[in-house]
Chain A
Amino acid sequence: AQTVTQSQPEMSVQEAETVTLSCTYDTSENNYYLFWYKQPPSRQMILVIRQEAYKQQNATENRFSVNFQKAAKSFSLKISDSQLGDTAMYFCAFPTESVNFGNEKLTFGTGTRLTIIP
């Protein structure tokens, strides 16, 4: 079974600092992709970044970047120059293996609650 683990329930950093959120996963697939989503106090689920497993280059979106270690099955999110608006729950997500239906449904980690301190 495919699993997603986020080992940091809560984190807090000072504004403008850099923070890294960790995520590990387990899969027997070779070709897959991973996501980070954020859920601010509004409770909306917002896509942060997507990483393709076949790409050696780590994905980057402005201040957000990932450190993807395929062999270690690790997918961490780095937020640079953190801002107050980054305060949110962050979820790592991974398409769940489904023999009959294809890898469509997402399995989410338990989340990391990130607080940016002014």
Chain B
Amino acid sequence: DTGVSQDPRHKITKRGQNVTFRCDPISEHNRLYWYRQTLGQGPEFLTYFQNEAQLEKSRLLSDRFSAERPKGSFSTLEIQRTEQGDSAMYLCASSPGTGVEKLFFGSGTQLSVL
């Protein structure tokens, strides 16, 4: 068990550029979650997957955000046409997916949009 891995740890980009983050969950974990955290706030739910199926996407998430989990293993989160307001820590978490249970978080990807 190597834990949840996120890549990159840091990303600096210019406004208008596209960025993609990767998350590798704990192996055999069926559930995968994406959260966003800004300074002074708690993790804000973005979306989650059960295997390769996307179960829910937050209403707060604009169409510029898209997430995939094509083979039910790793996941990618893409932000198109980045804006300064997208600057945040993007956290990925996974769980075995047998019901409501604790999440195992990665260390996050810190995005800075200049």
Chains A and B form a bound pair: no
Instruction: Please give the residue numbers on chain B whose beta carbons come within 8 Å of chain A beta carbons, in ascending order.
Output: none
Instruction: Please give the residue numbers on chain A whose beta carbons come within 8 Å of chain B beta carbons, in ascending order.
Output: none
